[in-house]
Amino acid sequence: MSKRRSSIAARAGTVAALPPIGAHRVLGWRPPLWLLAALVVPLAGPLATQAQIAIEKQVLVVAPGKWTGLRLADGQPDVQGHWSNTIGNHDNFTDPQAGTPGDPVRRRQLGPREERAPSRVSDPADGQLPYQPWARERQQEFLKYFFNPIAETYIEPLARCAPAGPIKSLFWHGYEIRQFPGYVLFLFNSGSRLIHLDGKPRLPDSVKLWNGDSRGHWEGNTLVVEVGNDNAKARLARTGEFYSENAKITERYSFDNTGQRYTYQATVTDPTVFTRPWTVTIPARRYNVTDTPSGWHYEVFPARHAGKQPIVEGYERTCVENNGGFGEVALPKAAPKP
C-alpha cells in the first residue's frame, strides 16, 4: 500500500455543529466527534441484529465554495477514504426513515412525518418526484409487487446483484473514494464507478451502462459531474422510483474543508418520464479508523502491513442470495448428526 493511501486510511477527524436552518443545514466547519455520536442513532428491530443503519434527522448541507483543505499531488482536493450517507438506506426514496410500505418483516411504528429526515427530493419543495401520470402508475406498480414479484419485470435488479446506478449507490451501503491523476474512482458494495477528469471524449450514445458514463471537473470544493449513457435499469429505491435511459444527470459533490462531510446534489432531466427537472440531495460523512465497523456503512477489517499506523481495507463483497455484511453468506443450518 502506498504512503499516500496509508495516511488517508489512518486519518481521523471530527464534524462541525451547526445552527438549524429548517429541515436542511449548512456545513462549513468542524465540530467535536462526540456531537456526531449524539446525532447518529441506530434503528431498532430486526436490523439491529444484523447491521445498524446510522440515521440523522436533519440533512447537513455543505455549501459550494473555496477548497482550503488538503490537496493531492495533481491538485485535486484530497477526499479519499470511506464514506456513507447519514439519513437511511434504499428502503424508501422520499421518506428515507420510514421503511418500505408493505414490508412483511420489518414493520415499523411511524410517528409524525416531521420527526423523520426529509425527502431526498429537495426540489420540488413537496419532496415528491414530478412524474408524468403514466410513470407514477408504473412506479406504484413496482412498489405494489416489490415483495411479491408476479413477473420478472417486478424483481428489483439489485436483488440479482446488478449495479445500483449512479444515485442509489450513494445510499445503498458505505463505499470508498480513491483518486488518481485525471480520475475519481468510487468503489461501491455493488460495483464501481469511474469519473473522468481528463477530458476524454464521451462514449457513443448507443453505449449504455449501469452506472452511466461520467465526465467531471473540480470547482473549488465541489466535484461537478455530467452523467450520460445510463441504461436506467437500476431503480432508485425499493419504493420503485425510476427514470429512463434518456435521463441527463448533473451532479455536485460539495466537500467541507475538514474532509469529514460532503453533500451530493444532482439534478435529473428526463422529459420522457417527468414533467420537469428535479433535484436529489444526499448527505454523507467520512468513516475513519476510530469508527466501529458496520455492516451497512463501514465494512472494513484491519490490514496487515509492516508499519504501526492503523490501516483498514474494505471487504470484497460477493453478492449472492441471503448475503450479509462484511462479505458473509447465510448458510442453511446443518442437519443434526444421527
Confidence of residue 323 (pLDDT cuts 50, 70, 90): low
Domain residue limits, the chain: 3-327
Side chain identity at 83, as an amino acid letter?
Answer: W
Q: Which residue type, as a one-letter code, is found at position 27?
A: L
Q: Which three cell numbers stand for residue 316?
A: 470484497
Give the integer Cα–Cα distance in Å for 211 and 187.
12
Q: Hey, what's the cell of 119?
A: 425527502
Give the per-residue pLDDT at 295. 85
User: Is pLDDT above 60 for 215?
Assistant: yes
Its pTM surpasses 0.95: no
3-state secondary structure of 240: coil
Using an 8 Å Cβ cutoff, are 17 and 260 in contact? no
Percent of all residues in the chain with a pLDDT value above 70, rounded to a whole number: 78
Between β-strands 59-62 and 24-27, what pairing exists: parallel, antiparallel or unpaired? parallel
Q: What is the pLDDT of residues 298-320, one digit of tens each?
A: 999 898 889 888 889 888 776 76
